[in-house]
Structure 1
């Protein structure tokens, strides 16, 4: 029987782990794959790790990797992918917002010849309005400025063949945006749609600030458009300043009143200064990413694991 690796990043999820394992085992009982869980503890501060270790002693198909601190979900996904060796790999959230029953349908699609079967939410019922609105805006913006389109509402929850996983692992960049990386490697992809599911227990660890930062990083990792915008703003500002300069010189020579228009001058100075700072901020963001890449720091540090 072929094997399935289930990668599960966790951070302060002590309430959901046992519910998750029971639900997956129950709803995938007919799945013709031998399941192995890979829990990646991303520096949890509650009893998440102790619960996983207890379960790992009871069940041989439960593995865990525990970081020395919180490195973020992207690092946890990478660690999980690197730890697996199974023929098929899936990524799931422990809060059961990714329906386990879809795994059977996903595997059927793989048998039809697909290399990847992803999932996408067709509704966001239960999410705060501001979060759902900004999420839709992100996908629209990303797909307009990036040469690597991402399906609106796509989840990290997907079933991949070993070949696809190996291709993803060849991408060694430190500033990772997995949704973009999954799309960039290509392959034959199918998508299953489902409505939004509420968390089984606990509260999300994602804050609005973290989601916003993650979105900005995603846009910059897969597009040069912000740099082009900065260049365009600079050229446009210079052109407008040149035209206004000529206009005021001619106006002064004809009417001989250089004092009038002083408020306009102040507004223009503030406008140009703001545009310059905006452009420098965009360029600085890219330089910061280059700086992080050149330091070659590891994406994560493993404190303990039962894999070796």
Structure 2
């Protein structure tokens, strides 16, 4: 059943998580404000400071003082983008929310298109990158490989070449609020909630100002989080690889035994023995590492700590509020 179109007089919140983005925040808000001025609905902006070390939060407060549509939320420390994004979405009381980064790689001018499709009855409208300007060939290649690996391993069909830039309806937000896992891969969770989803293809621009906070080590760990959060395939691979290794070792053992019985065996063979021992030891360590990744996630989940802690939360022209963290 197709939902009825949303009333054009609905309310929209734009959630903007940021970490050390002081250099380009004012330019971002200028472009975003121009877009919101052209929308035929009530719109507001929620800036989430993920424990920045520069004056990002001070600039957010200045924007709040100058624009009555701006709210600010400051976390007690740097919790990472996934949890900063979760904090922002948890505080959305509008009919829909748009998630966008403040580096202007994702164009705010695409928001009216998202809103149009939302009014047509779609619950999740996400941007799919046709190109990624300003990024190295190696990063483009690894990003493409990651999305394709995720597509094969995950039972949840995660769209390729798609980031966090998207619109979520109220019922999609409510569904997402029910998912409180600590190790969060938001791109997968956005898809996991289901409902009617639509892709909008666009060309991604280079970063407007500042430096990216994602180095290759962080991207590698992010990829591991994504794979282990939405697939048990690595555990199966370790099992199958262990079985294959055991079979090869058994066959090799039969060959050694047969050779010794037929031709005898001098006391040589140290190199081949070391190769076998090191190979089997390596396979065992890899399998233990894979198991350890999943066990570590179970350990984190079992402690049931809050997802994030809030230092300050300001609505426009309101005093500071620090609501209880989840």
The TM-score, its normalising length taken from structure 1, stands at 0.97
The answer on whether the counterparts of 1:28 and 1:101 sit within 8 Å (CA) in structure 2 is: no
2:262: which partner in 1?
254
SS at structure 2 position matched to 1:195: strand
**1:127 equivalenced with 2:135 (yes/no):** yes
**1:201 equivalenced with 2:201 (yes/no):** no
> Following the alignment from structure 1 to structure 2, what is the Cα–Cα distance between the partners of residues 72 and 258?
60
2:281: which partner in 1?
273
Shift of 1:72: 0.1
**1:117 equivalenced with 2:117 (yes/no):** no
Shift of 1:59: 2.1
Picking from 117, 133, 143, the partner of 2:151 is 143
Picking from 145, 163, 171, the partner of 2:171 is 163
Matched length: 308
SS at structure 2 position matched to 1:35: strand
SS at structure 1 position matched to 2:276: helix
Query: Deviation string for 1:9-46 (max 9, x for gaps)?
Result: 01001111111111012134321121211111011000
> Following the alignment from structure 1 to structure 2, what is the Cα–Cα distance between the partners of residues 228 and 258?
40
> Following the alignment from structure 2 to structure 1, what is the Cα–Cα distance between the partners of residues 15 and 39?
17
Cα pair distance change 1:9/1:213, threshold 3 Å: same
| 1:211-222 → structure 2 map (5 Å cutoff) | 211-222=219-230
Q: Which region of structure 1 is more displaced relative to structure 2, 297-306 or 74-83? A: 297-306
> Following the alignment from structure 2 to structure 1, what is the Cα–Cα distance between the partners of residues 113 and 71?
25
Shift of 1:180: 0.3
> Following the alignment from structure 1 to structure 2, what is the Cα–Cα distance between the partners of residues 258 and 91?
70
| 1:263-302 → structure 2 map (5 Å cutoff) | 263-302=271-310
**1:178 equivalenced with 2:174 (yes/no):** no
Which runs of 5 or more structure 1 residues have no equivalent in the other structure? none
Which runs of 5 or more structure 2 residues have no equivalent in the other structure? 1-8, 316-320, 322-326
> Following the alignment from structure 1 to structure 2, what is the Cα–Cα distance between the partners of residues 259 and 139?
51
> Following the alignment from structure 2 to structure 1, what is the Cα–Cα distance between the partners of residues 159 and 125?
13
> Following the alignment from structure 1 to structure 2, what is the Cα–Cα distance between the partners of residues 258 and 25?
82
SS at structure 1 position matched to 2:234: helix
Query: Deviation string for 1:111-139 (max 9, x for gaps)?
Result: 22211111010112321111111111101
Picking from 71, 74, 90, the partner of 1:82 is 90
> Following the alignment from structure 2 to structure 1, what is the Cα–Cα distance between the partners of residues 169 and 314?
24
Query: Deviation string for 1:147-185 (max 9, x for gaps)?
Result: 111111112111111000100111111110000001111
SS at structure 2 position matched to 1:118: strand
The answer on whether the counterparts of 2:72 and 2:313 sit within 8 Å (CA) in structure 1 is: yes
Query: Deviation string for 1:241-260 (max 9, x for gaps)?
Result: 11111110110111112424
> Following the alignment from structure 1 to structure 2, what is the Cα–Cα distance between the partners of residues 272 and 183?
39
Q: Which stretches of structure 1, 4 residues or more, deviate above 3 A after TM superposition? A: none
The answer on whether the counterparts of 1:28 and 1:100 sit within 8 Å (CA) in structure 2 is: no
The answer on whether the counterparts of 1:14 and 1:47 sit within 8 Å (CA) in structure 2 is: yes
> Following the alignment from structure 2 to structure 1, what is the Cα–Cα distance between the partners of residues 258 and 237?
32
SS at structure 1 position matched to 2:108: coil
Q: Which region of structure 1 is more displaced relative to structure 2, 68-77 or 252-261? A: 252-261
> Following the alignment from structure 2 to structure 1, what is the Cα–Cα distance between the partners of residues 142 and 40?
39
Cα pair distance change 1:125/1:199, threshold 3 Å: closer
> Following the alignment from structure 1 to structure 2, what is the Cα–Cα distance between the partners of residues 150 and 10?
24
SS at structure 1 position matched to 2:14: strand
2:81: which partner in 1?
73
The TM-score, its normalising length taken from structure 2, stands at 0.92
2:20: which partner in 1?
12
> Following the alignment from structure 2 to structure 1, what is the Cα–Cα distance between the partners of residues 232 and 247?
23
